[in-house]
Amino acid sequence: MKKSITILMLMALSTLLSAQSYQQTSQGVKAEVGRTAIELQFYSPRIVRVLKYPKTEKVNKKSLSVIKIPEKTDFKTERFNNVISLSSSEIIVTLNLTTGDVQFNGLDTRPFIAEKSSSSLFTDKQYKSGKTYEIQQTFLLDKQEAMYGLGQHQQGYMNQRGKSVRLRQMNTEIAVPIIHSVKGYAVFWDNYSETEYKDSFDGMSFTSVSGKCIDYYFMYGKDADGTIARIRNLTGQAPMFPLWTYGFWQSRERYTSQDELAGTVRKYRELGVPLDGIIQDWQYWSTDNTHWNAVEFGNPAFPNPKQMVEDIHRLHVHVAISVWPSFGPNTNIHKDLNKRKLLLNFDTYPHNNGVRVYDAFNPEARKIYWDYMNKNIFSLGMDAWWLDATEPEDNINGETLDGATFLGTYRDISNAFPIVSVGGVYDNQRKVTADKRVYIFTRSAFAGQQRYGANSWSGDIDSRWSTLRKQIPAGLNFSLCGIPYWNTDIGGFWAGRAYPGGIKDIAFHELYVRWLQFGTFTPMMRSHGTNTPREIYQFGKRGDWAFDVQEKYINMRYSLMPYMYSTGHDITNNSGSMMRALMMDFAKDPKVYDIDNQFMFGKSILVTPVTDSMYVNRTRDGRTVADFSAAKIQKVYLPKGADWYDFWTGEKIKGGQEISKAAPIDIIPLYIKAGTILPWGPKVQYAEEKNWDNLNIFIYPGADTEFVLYEDENNNYNYEKGIYSTIKMMWDDISQTLTIGARQGEFPGMLSKRTFRITLLPAGKSIRSLTDKADHLIVFDGKEINVKM
């Protein structure tokens, strides 16, 4: 009897102690389990922050990615034995007070993700810079659950299940610790040190080399678009890019003089090949590396850069220029930063020249960086920035990692360098003018970087077929982290490694035109590389296959301009995406989960790039021979849940099957989803050459659909004040009726009247055969019109 009473007393005492070990807060709960403090914080009904740290530590962390202020969220707290349950209107999160484990469920108790029991680990680490922890959290996933994200990597697969990925910023590798589930949720591991993602039979884990706390966010979106919307709600929305940036860009490493740069633009105009952007890569400052990246013109081959920019502008082309985050010792900016102790301690490229990286974590350093850019370059009329090496390039060792920055040791925050550096340029340019939108393309990124007008590219990749294929899952996984703008060097950067003959080798021609076809359907279409020039006229003349294929796809890019710009509005206004993994639109079709060579461009166009050589072979005696006598075949999977139209032939095909598509050198498989309204722009030499006053509207029947045509002033921030217009078009498939809704909004220079050339595509007919014909010519003056087809 005494023993029973003792047990009851101990149980009561245990329950009392447990009850005292947590407290409810306005955002969630705080608890102490063993030696660990735990906080659950609702940021919204669908977003929950989980914070864990040793009780001996005081944690007051300010995120470099998260900008959302927690909104007031109603939630209900219940306790079942030693489990606390917090329920919002969207999700249930539970905390086990015995083990400290957290679990997320739907309101129907459907499991999302759960921490593995007692898997929150803090391992003491002592470095010269002081004490820290290696931190780890392991999660349990459903066996068949597909996971995506983690940034941009070159492994060549989509699904991250069963994989290990090192998350450290490097040239060609972009670390974004966001994992995105096909079940409609994401987890952001908010840590800036080198991190390992690993998924095995033991569970899915994040392990970071340094941190004072485990800090992650669970975001529930129901589907992929909703999940990306939650990521952007937490870390920032993506601003609009200028219309011209969706056009074709020409670049090389590098134009050696202002005459060569401007001469390239003139050549494109003489040929009548569309062009909107030209890029000046490095060494416009000097060829002496002690003057590396002076952030000002100093090379005598560029005697009058302001005149150069004006000459290019007169040809309706825009200019971008390369700026690095590191500076040679004989530059004014290096001396200025060094005097203020605003340089980091490690050697960087070009090595052994005293070149140092600035402390981008320091707002004073970011301001100095921008002041030089503004005074010496932006004031010339420069239109865009190529922020190269924003990893930044470094020689990682203990001394480097122990080095101090404004926000702590470099070990603690190195992965966040790109977001603070790029963010400083964006924020400071916005202070200078609202008349020119910020456009940055950058070699690295971190979670939240979409809010800074940044378009990342995949770095200095090789010119190889295998590398081309790897770019597809690299870009798609990057986009699934909530950062919608991404591109590659068309043709690959290092051409000389695989093609020593460069532009003279027709094997390189085949790779290049296939890469350019892929680039047509990425957010930025940009030709660039080293070892060989890539201007279209380097490949021959009209009538030569390599020239003609490029011209065909560059013109197609401009025809898609209304579609792309409207998709850009959807990105900004509705947290949309431009490059879409197939699981985003066809999550109910498990066959798409691992497809790594196809994607949706916007919500209507299925793209299957050709990523194998088909027509050029090397003979036994070393000669290269092209044989186009017979079209080769590309396999294509058409996702289940839609019917599809072959863009080139108009043939209608049922989804849910793999097909074989002929892929001659000028064709890549393109399929339009049944239930599509596709605007088709006029033939132009640059993006703003013609108004969209005589716009083709093609309807692919088979399902109800809608499309919102977006227009504004093209290159200022007035759209943020609501100065833009939208025209919503709705297709009713049963009644075969197109409703063009009343125009919403207005802006200076807006078309008061326009003609829509509306065509219902019959099976077996393609856009290319109908661009000069139309079923209906509709004069639209802003009022709703119903068109019976």
The per-residue pLDDT for range 264-296, each reduced to its tens digit, is 999 999 999 999 999 999 999 999 999 999 999
From 118-122, 170-174, 615-619, 680-684, the region with the lowest mean pLDDT: 615-619
At a CB cut-off of 8 Å and minimum separation 6, what does 103 contact? 93, 94, 96, 111, 113, 114, 115
Q: How many CB atoms lie within 10 A of CB 268?
A: 24
455 neighbors 526 (Cβ within 8 angstroms): no
Between CA 674 and CA 760 the distance in angstroms is 12
**What pLDDT sits at residue 196?**
98
Nearest CA among 340, 360, 326, 345 for reference residue 404:
345
Strands 670-673 and 605-607: antiparallel
Q: At 770, is the pLDDT very low, low, confident or very high (cuts 50, 70, 90)?
A: low
What per-residue string of b and e applies to 226-237 under the rule 16 or more CB within 10 Å gives b?
bbbbbbbbbbbb
Q: At 321, is the pLDDT very low, low, confident or very high (cuts 50, 70, 90)?
A: very high
Q: What is the mean pLDDT of the chain?
A: 95
Count CA within 13 A, CB hemisphere, residue 380.
24
Nearest CA among 275, 320, 273 for reference residue 688:
275
Between CA 292 and CA 280 the distance in angstroms is 15
Between CA 119 and CA 204 the distance in angstroms is 11
CATH number assigned to the domain with residue range 23-235, chosen from the 4 options 3.20.20.70, 3.40.50.1580, 2.40.50.140, 2.60.40.1760: 2.60.40.1760
Between CA 151 and CA 480 the distance in angstroms is 8
**What pLDDT sits at residue 352?**
92
Catalytic residue among 199, 391, 589, 596: 391
Q: Tell me what the mean pLDDT of segment 670-683 comes to.
A: 98
Q: How many CB atoms lie within 10 A of CB 329?
A: 16
pLDDT (tens digit per residue) in 129-185: 999 999 999 999 999 999 999 999 999 999 999 999 999 999 999 999 999 999 999
Q: Distance of CA 422 to CAs 145, 156, 253, 363, 613, Å?
A: 34, 27, 22, 12, 37
Nearest CA among 42, 41, 46 for reference residue 219:
46
460 is catalytic: yes
Nearest CA among 397, 344, 337, 346 for reference residue 364:
337
388 is catalytic: yes
* The pair of three-digit structure tokens given for residue 501, joined into one six-digit string: 């003959």
Q: Tell me what the mean pLDDT of segment 64-75 comes to.
A: 98
* The pair of three-digit structure tokens given for residue 405, joined into one six-digit string: 């920055």
Q: At 767, is the pLDDT very low, low, confident or very high (cuts 50, 70, 90)?
A: confident
**CATH 2.60.40.1180 domain range(s) in the chain:** 676-788
Instruction: Say what the pTM is.
Output: 0.96
**Is the pLDDT score of 68 beyond 50?**
yes
pLDDT (tens digit per residue) in 496-552: 999 999 999 999 999 999 999 999 999 999 999 999 999 999 999 999 999 999 999
**What pLDDT sits at residue 263?**
98
**Is the pLDDT score of 771 beyond 80?**
no
Q: At 19, is the pLDDT very low, low, confident or very high (cuts 50, 70, 90)?
A: very low
**What pLDDT sits at residue 337?**
98
**Is the pLDDT score of 2 beyond 70?**
no
Q: Tell me what the mean pLDDT of segment 737-745 comes to.
A: 98
**Is the pLDDT score of 766 beyond 90?**
no
Between CA 331 and CA 532 the distance in angstroms is 30
**What pLDDT sits at residue 762?**
81
Q: Tell me what the mean pLDDT of segment 353-379 comes to.
A: 98
**What pLDDT sits at residue 5?**
37
**CATH 2.60.40.1760 domain range(s) in the chain:** 23-235
Q: How many CB atoms lie within 10 A of CB 40?
A: 24
Between CA 447 and CA 426 the distance in angstroms is 16
Return the residue matching tokens 């078009």. 729
**What pLDDT sits at residue 17?**
43
**What pLDDT sits at residue 681?**
97
**Percent of the chain scored above 90 by pLDDT?**
93
The gap from C-alpha 374 to its chain's centroid, in whole angstroms, comes to 26
- For residues 122, 123, 128, 129, the Cα torsion angle rounded to the nearest 10 degrees is -10
Between CA 230 and CA 233 the distance in angstroms is 5
**CATH 3.20.20.80 domain range(s) in the chain:** 247-577
The gap from C-alpha 288 to its chain's centroid, in whole angstroms, comes to 34
* The pair of three-digit structure tokens given for residue 717, joined into one six-digit string: 């921030």
CATH superfamily name and code, 247-577? Glycosidases (3.20.20.80)
Nearest CA among 242, 244, 761, 248 for reference residue 517:
248
The gap from C-alpha 772 to its chain's centroid, in whole angstroms, comes to 36
391 is catalytic: yes
Contacts 24+ apart (CB under 8 A), 37-40: 38/95, 38/100, 38/102, 40/86, 40/93, 40/95, 40/102
From 51-60, 80-89, 388-397, 717-726, the region with the lowest mean pLDDT: 388-397
pLDDT (tens digit per residue) in 566-619: 999 999 999 999 999 999 999 999 999 999 999 999 999 999 999 999 999 987
Strands 408-409 and 404-405: antiparallel
Between CA 29 and CA 52 the distance in angstroms is 12
User: Which CATH class name applies to 676-788?
Assistant: mainly beta
Between CA 590 and CA 415 the distance in angstroms is 33
Between CA 771 and CA 767 the distance in angstroms is 6
**What pLDDT sits at residue 394?**
85
DSSP code, position 355: -
**Is the pLDDT score of 20 beyond 80?**
no
Catalytic residue among 460, 505, 535, 711: 460
Between CA 426 and CA 420 the distance in angstroms is 10
pLDDT (tens digit per residue) in 210-238: 999 999 999 999 999 999 999 999 999 99
**Please, what's the largest Cα pairwise distance for the chain?**
102
Between CA 711 and CA 704 the distance in angstroms is 24
Helix segments in 256-331, DSSP class H: 258-271, 305-314
Taking the alpha carbons at both ends of the chain, their separation in whole angstroms is 88
**Is the pLDDT score of 390 beyond 70?**
yes
Catalytic residue among 276, 359, 388, 412: 388
From 1-10, 308-317, 319-328, 740-749, the region with the lowest mean pLDDT: 1-10
